Amino acid sequence: MSPDLFLDAHGYAAAARHPLPGDAGHRRYLRLAGGPRPAVLMDGSAAAAVGLPSAEADLRAFMAIAAHLQGIGLSAPEVIAADPPAGLLLLEDLGEPTHASLLDAGADPVPLYEAAAEALAALHEAPPPTGLPAWEGEAMARTAAATFLDWWWPAALGSAPTPAQREAFRVAVRAMLAPFEGAGAFVHRDYFPANLLPLPDRTGPAAVGIIDFQDAGLGHPAYDLVSLLQDARRDVPAAARKAATARYLAAREASSGGLDRAAFEAATAAMAAQRHLRVAALWVRLDRRDGKPHYLAHGPRCWRLLDEALAHPAAAPLAAFLDEHVPRALRANPRTEPTA
């Protein structure tokens, strides 16, 4: 079914359509005004039309996780209508501003990050839904290799890594993450301000709307706190990082009855090292493969955050690999031009 037919079938044929900022993936979003109720169209039809395997799976995951979040008292968009094979979802419109747009407009970051941290703590305290894929060890090493080794490495170093270097990288990432496997928490994976919305008519953790969670997995909760407070796309003020960390840890301790802060700090460093290396290299893939060079502007921030994470003993295996194979002066966006 085409997007037009889908909207017509659900009473939105005459609705005005306003494009919303997209993500780095294949979906587009339209805010609909003038239909039966305010709504947003999540449109992955282009990917579905060419048979992209993840198109339907992404939407079904979104629906299942939305139901889970609502079931534990958090705020996710209600699914109004769905045609997953066509890549189409009609969602409740949670409102126009996001935490990101408020921050860009000059809002005080501390209350926004504290609210986000409170919602995140509630998300991590609840038992996760069944069926989530693992987001730890092997999966994290594989996704890091897919950007760092496959895209950044040849662009920055001039040739592809050898099989021995690939294996050494996998071993280093696995060794770094091994102490933190088995936590079994719900991990959003992209928990940052662009995916959070203020809902002032709701209270407690439900006052933060949560979106873009279809890639969630099971892993260590520190990963999401890294996504939020060591954001790849924006600098987070030190005061906001401190306040949000305190709010998160206090909420977790109040609910769980105890939290090993030293172990959580070590996990945070390991998760940060994997994420920042993977994402710094992702910007290169988006530039070279997808024609989106504007993402490279975030590269310096990611490399700086990576350097901070590598200073922690928990990140020693990855730090040792990089020290052996990647000169510190080259840890940046590639200096070479893409080939014709």
Q: What is the pLDDT of residues 194-227, one digit of tens each?
A: 999 999 999 999 999 999 998 999 999 999 999 9
Last residue of a domain, one of 63, 92, 121: 92
Residue 337 lies in a domain: no
Q: Are 226 and 272 in contact (CB under 8 A)?
A: yes
- Give the pLDDT confidence of 50-87 residue by residue, as tens digits: 556 677 888 888 999 999 999 999 999 999 999 999 99
Burial 100-132 (b: 16+ CB within 10 A, else e): bebbeeeeebbebbbbbbbbbbbbbbbebbeeb
CATH number at residue 306: 3.90.1200.10
Residues 6 or more apart whose CB falls under 8 angstroms from that of 30 comprise 17, 18, 19, 20, 40, 41, 43
Same domain flag for 152 and 263: yes
**Domain membership of residue 104 as a residue range:** 99-330
Q: pLDDT tens, 155-177?
A: 999 999 999 999 999 999 999 99
Residues 235 and 254 in one domain: yes
DSSP labels, 152-186: IHHHHHSSPPPHHHHHHHHHHHHHHHGGGTT--EE
Question: Average pLDDT for residues 171-188, to the nearest whole number?
Answer: 97
* 36 shares its domain with 162: no
- Number of domains the chain contains: 2
pLDDT value of position 122: 97
Q: What is the CATH number of the domain that holds 64?
A: 3.30.200.20
> What is the structure's pLDDT at 311?
98
For 17-62, the pLDDT digits (tens) are 999 876 555 778 999 998 999 999 999 887 666 556 677 888 888 9
pLDDT digits (tens, 9 = 90+) for 226-246: 999 999 999 999 999 999 999
252, two tokens: 């977790």
Alpha helices in the chain (DSSP H): 3-9, 45-49, 54-71, 99-104, 109-125, 137-147, 153-157, 163-177, 222-229, 238-256, 261-288, 299-310, 316-325
Closest to 98 in 3D by CA, of 211, 14, 183: 211
Chain-centre distance of CA 82, in angstroms?
A: 23
The answer to whether position 137 is within a domain reads: yes
d(CA 333, CA 208): 34
The b-or-e profile of 265-278 (16+ CB within 10 A means b, else e) is ebbbbbbbbbbbbb
* pLDDT at position 298: 98
Label the pairing between strands 79-83 and 185-187.
Answer: unpaired
Tell which residue, 101, 95, 64, 335, has the closest CA to residue 213: 64
Query: How much is the average pLDDT of 131-151?
Result: 97
Q: Which of 69, 92, 115 is the last residue of a domain?
A: 92
Cβ-contact 29, 22 below 8 angstroms: yes
The pLDDT of residue 340 is 41
The pLDDT assigned to 48 comes to: 61
What is the chain's alpha carbon radius of gyration, rounded to the nearest angstrom? 20
pLDDT band at 339 (very low <50, low <70, confident <90, very high): very low
335 part of a folded domain: no
Count CB neighbours of 52 within 10 A: 16
Residues 231 and 147 reside in one and the same domain: yes
Residue 319 and residue 172 share a domain: yes
Identify whether residues 64 and 104 lie together within a single domain. Answer: no
Confidence of residue 324 (pLDDT cuts 50, 70, 90): very high
Query: What pLDDT is attached to residue 25?
Result: 59
Specify whether 152 is located in the same domain as 250.
Answer: yes
Q: Which is nearest to 288 in space by CA: 330, 326, 329, 340?
A: 340
Chain segment 263-287, per-residue pLDDT in tens: 999 999 999 999 999 999 999 999 9
CA distance 63 to 87: 12
Predicted local confidence at residue 256, as pLDDT: 73
71 and 87 fall within a common domain: yes
Tell whether 104 and 204 lie within a shared domain.
yes
Closest CA relative to residue 309, chosen from 177, 190, 185, 213: 177
Same-domain check for residues 313 and 207: yes
User: Are residues 253 and 113 part of one domain?
Assistant: yes
Q: Give, in order, the Cα–Cα distances in Å from 217 to each of 15, 132, 134, 221, 304.
A: 35, 5, 5, 10, 27
- Residue 338 forms part of a structural domain: no
Q: Are residues 164 and 302 in the same domain?
A: yes
User: Does residue 339 lie within any of the structural domains?
Assistant: no
Whole-number average pLDDT of the chain: 93
What tokens does 23 get?
């993500």
